[in-house]
A and B are shown apart, each in its own frame.
Chain A
């Protein structure tokens, strides 16, 4: 190997610390703000860490603005979306991965094309349809729309995981006289389970974090999801109650963060499974 100049290593560390700062500082600031008293938040002298730590922001955030109620709405919507999306897309993903031909080309083509269309072009007719069915401004309507929007990605990921399971395993099973259904249940499903869990969690996070569709479809304050409620913390004139807003933001991030921590190893696998094996 050729020798590296002496300055390469220090420069690399400088760059890495720069990245750490860029990525980490805003997070640190948000968390720190959530523990600051309002006097400190609006004071002219800005400090990185709270001078005196306080939990009142969290209490305030939970007490006001229906944060718990909207967290409940978000959770219900995200869980239902997750279950429905995975249930519906599993059979199709299996078919897409295993049966090659025209249908597969059309299926994958649609998955990719649907990513290009701006959300607005889908939401306008969906809004009209849901209004006709009197499902606008209901959580059930929101769930239906979320299922629509998360399905392409879920299909993409799942079919990648199915493709990764050797076909020989299934064939061996059916040669031993097992029916197709038994093969699916006993051989395919257990192997697919980690992929299903990863896909489900991605769907959960997508629904939990979503803002635009909820903004369009939900008007009643008591049906607000968490992102809508947080956004409403910011007053009309841009006047913000910073402390509770920071605390609410921290709380709203925790579920997604937990999911991502669990998924950490799977993140690349899932995205690439779809891309490479497709």
Chain B
């Protein structure tokens, strides 16, 4: 942005038309597929929510106005899934942030074992979600899993982690934190390395404890990174599918039925595309609403403090 601000205005004016032509020539090859495969389908997807489209061949979708949405209002199962999705997304993003912050702080010190931790922390990021899910199914296995073996060793009764109503959702959230932590850690660590060392030293000279230095110097400097990564984590968790689908398929008794799973089943098992798209529309609005509330609130707070 600075490059633009400092540039002389006159030079821009002279070459402006030629530049624009060049820009268009460069963008068209990229924009055509984006419009064909992204903009149009997205608009079509939003529109489908207002129709009675099904997956049947030669089905003619009729515009039915708000009927889907009215039906959706009274759909108890959808709203239950929606609630689970919110709990899941908030828990995932907050816990991932807290765990990643702890790890990043440790990695930002002069401890040994750092390089090993760095390598280990990157692996979950690279792993296919299906493999992550398969791996954790083994960990949680009620009969041959190490978790229950450890419980037995200390004399606690075995738990059917993914099959029990009360433990299924927390169990899949732990897995999401495990796989989401590396990316957030890397981002936070990069942010921490940009915190001015003089400020930290000055605070230390003034007698501020490590905790106070973190709270008053490091954290405010990290605010943009924290904002961006929690917002992204929230979106990604809310829209995630593979991890939970492979681990529980939404069970037991719908306790891990994330909105994406619910919508997927409505579209491809019940074959009601129109109704499923209406759910998608509601989900987008909900995500945008939560995000804007969060960002506006954080922005205000930042302003008040800054």
Residues of A within 8 A of B (CB): 1-2, 4, 8, 12-13, 15-17, 19-20, 22-27, 29-30, 33, 41-43, 46, 48, 88-89, 91-96, 98-100, 103, 107, 110, 114-122, 124-126, 128-129, 144-145, 147-148, 151-152, 155, 167, 180, 205, 208-209, 211-212, 215-216, 226-227, 230-231, 233-234, 240, 242, 245-246, 249, 252-253, 256-257, 259-260, 264, 267-268, 271-272, 275
Contact = CB atoms under 8 A, between A and B. Distances in A.
A38 B62 CA distance: 55
B126 A103 contact: no
A20 B241 CA distance: 27
Interface string B208-243: 011000000000000000001000100100110110
B277 A94 contact: no
Interface size class of chain B, counting residues whose CB lies under 8 Å from the partner chain: 35 or more
B126 A256 contact: yes
A29 B139 contact: yes
A129 B273 CA distance: 13
A252 B127 CA distance: 8
B184 to A, nearest CB: 11
Q: Which of B34, B207, B242, B279 has the most CB of A within 10 A?
A: B34
Nearest to A19: B103
A124 B139 contact: no
B235 to A, nearest CB: 6
B125 interface: yes
Interface string B121-163: 1111111111100111111000111100100000000000000
* Most chain A Cβ neighbours within 10 Å, of B40, B130, B280: B130
12 contacts: A16-B106, A26-B135, A27-B123, A29-B135, A92-B30, A118-B238, A124-B277, A147-B33, A155-B30, A212-B245, A227-B130, A256-B128
Contacts of A211: 128-130, 241-242, 245-246
A260 to B, nearest CB: 4
B102 A119 contact: no
B171 interface: no
Given A48-B146, A92-B30, A230-B134, A114 B38 contact: yes
Interface stretch (B15-23, B68-76, B296-304): B15-23
Interface in B242-257: 242, 245-246
A92 B122 contact: no
B272 to A, nearest CB: 11
Contacts of A152: 38
Contact of A230 (B22, B130, B149, B190): B130
Nearest to A20: B117
B78 interface: no
B84 interface: no
Contacts of B94: none
Interface string B105-117: 0100101010011
A16 B111 contact: yes
B120 A99 contact: no
B206 to A, nearest CB: 9
A116 B268 contact: no
Contacts of B283: 118, 121
